[in-house]
Structure 1
């Protein structure tokens, strides 16, 4: 039971972090991402001709993708530790991640200067799908390795 509790703690903590970051008013959120984008721009601009705004947008959208990439993996792991089969766990982790993305964008409608964007839900869902795809590949490789190891015993 203790392992099961820990398995569910991580997706809940990650969802709380997403909620916290989404709850930042537009000025605060933009300030955080602008600061990070400025550092990235200072590194990239001397090598590749790029506008600051392009770097800023890519950083923000990739943050969406990465946040839900991680969330989906945390959810699928918790579901697997709860005894759910791999295929069902992947489906439910995708559904859970995508629904959380929708609620996150609705939540932002109530934050000063923020908006809910369908495009962000699609980016979030793409991140979740990619995370689950990677998880599925790694799980399959581990299964094949275990099967091969047990055949040699």
Structure 2
């Protein structure tokens, strides 16, 4: 893909991913979702939180890098932005009937972002 196309690709992918996160966290009662019995499987929920924000942080960092932000700054901005989005998503869930805001979920979001942050920091040192 050409560099100009990449500039837009990662920004659009980030926005789409954020919209998917928002949409999913707007589902109040998981019992109405086919194939989901209780929506409270702790292990699966934890894995989903980590992976979701791992992907979001990656998309943010790539968006910054392909748009000319220095790599070190891009890593920091991507991490902070994904952690902030995780916090606002938890806050948003406070207002969704059948959902709750959980500090532990936000920590899982940050953990996913931290994995990408650490990978990029390690990659830079090599």
Q: Confirm or deny a common fold (TM above 0.5).
A: yes
The residue number in structure 2 matching 1:107 is 92
* Aligned-residue offset at 1:5: 1.7
Is it true that 1:22 corresponds to 2:25 in the alignment?
A: yes
- What is the TM-score normalised by the length of structure 2? 0.85
| Structure holding more helix per residue | 1
| Aligned equivalents of 2:114, 2:120: Cα separation in 1 | 10
* Aligned-residue offset at 1:140: 3.9
| Aligned equivalents of 1:64, 1:32: Cα separation in 2 | 19
Rg bigger for which structure?
A: 1
Unaligned stretches of 5+ residues in structure 1 = 38-52, 145-153
| Aligned equivalents of 2:11, 2:32: Cα separation in 1 | 28
The residue number in structure 2 matching 1:74 is 59
Tell me, yes or no, if the aligned pair for 1:25 and 1:112 is still in contact at 8 Å: yes
Tell me, yes or no, if the aligned pair for 2:31 and 2:37 is still in contact at 8 Å: no
Is it true that 1:122 corresponds to 2:107 in the alignment?
A: yes
Q: What pairs with 1:1-16 in structure 2 (closer than 5 Å)?
A: 1-16=4-19
Unaligned stretches of 5+ residues in structure 2 = none
| Aligned equivalents of 2:35, 2:121: Cα separation in 1 | 33
| Aligned equivalents of 2:32, 2:52: Cα separation in 1 | 15
Q: Secondary structure of 2:117's partner?
A: helix
| Aligned equivalents of 1:129, 1:29: Cα separation in 2 | 33
CA pair 103-93 structure 1, distance change in 2 beyond 3 A: same
- What is the TM-score normalised by the length of structure 1? 0.71
Map Cα deviations across residues 76-129 of structure 1 (whole Å, 9 max, x no partner). Answer: 000000111111101000110000001000110111110111111111001101
Tell me, yes or no, if the aligned pair for 1:33 and 1:59 is still in contact at 8 Å: no
